[in-house]
């Protein structure tokens, strides 16, 4: 985490957490609640996206959050806590961190899930053709996981709420 965040946490240790304002879509975009439309809008500011990415983590319950100074802002996940994509041949998460792929799964929709050291990642759909080409016919032998069971199976919470604390 950023040093400024750690200092703020020490100075104000008990601020209440925020729920329902930040989301992560299936392509790794951070989305912020737009109170006017009651929907979510993509965060366009690169510095803010990078700040969120540097301070993104999971709590002991498997709820993912962004540590915004002294306050945790919990993230609603469209699918998995990480979104993976290829940069050349390297696998990178949506926070810009290299990922060493572990077990790989496929769901009923053809989405690819990869377990890495930070948690479960959904492969960005724009990289599915590259992934399939690398594996050849072997991609069809990947173990299957039902999308509705992914959160429980891999230990994360898709929609954190205050009731989980």
Least confident of 92-96, 114-118, 123-127, 140-144: 140-144
The pTM is what?
A: 0.89
Task: Give the Cβ contact number of residue 51 at 10 Å.
Answer: 16
- 39-42: strand order across its sheet: 39-42, 30-34, 18-24, 71-77, 64-68, 56-58
Architecture of the domain whose range is 3-78: Roll (3.10)
SS3 at position 88: coil
Please state the φ and ψ torsions of residue 91, each to the nearest 5 degrees. -90, 125
Q: Hey, where are the domains in the chain?
A: 3-78, 82-148
Predicted pLDDT of residue 70 = 83
Mean pLDDT of all residues in 97-119: 95
Per-residue pLDDT band for 156 (boundaries 50, 70, 90) equals: very high
């Amino acid at each position: 985490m950023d040093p400024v965040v750690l200092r703020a946490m020490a100075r104000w240790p008990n601020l209440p957490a925020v729920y329902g304002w930040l989301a992560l879509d299936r392509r790794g975009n951070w989305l912020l609640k737009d109170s006017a439309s009651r929907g979510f809008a993509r965060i366009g500011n690169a510095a803010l996206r990078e700040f969120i990415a540097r301070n993104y983590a999971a709590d002991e319950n498997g709820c993912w959050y962004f540590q915004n100074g002294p306050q945790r802002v919990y993230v609603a996940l469209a699918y998995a806590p990480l979104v993976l994509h290829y940069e050349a041949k390297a696998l990178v998460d949506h926070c810009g961190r290299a990922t060493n792929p572990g077990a790989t799964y496929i769901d009923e929709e053809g989405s690819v899930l990869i377990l890495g050291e930070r948690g479960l990642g959904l492969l960005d759909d724009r990289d599915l053709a590259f992934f399939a080409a690398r594996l050849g016919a072997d991609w069809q032998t990947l173990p299957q996981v039902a999308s509705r069971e992914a959160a429980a199976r891999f230990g994360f919470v898709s929609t954190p709420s205050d009731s989980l604390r």
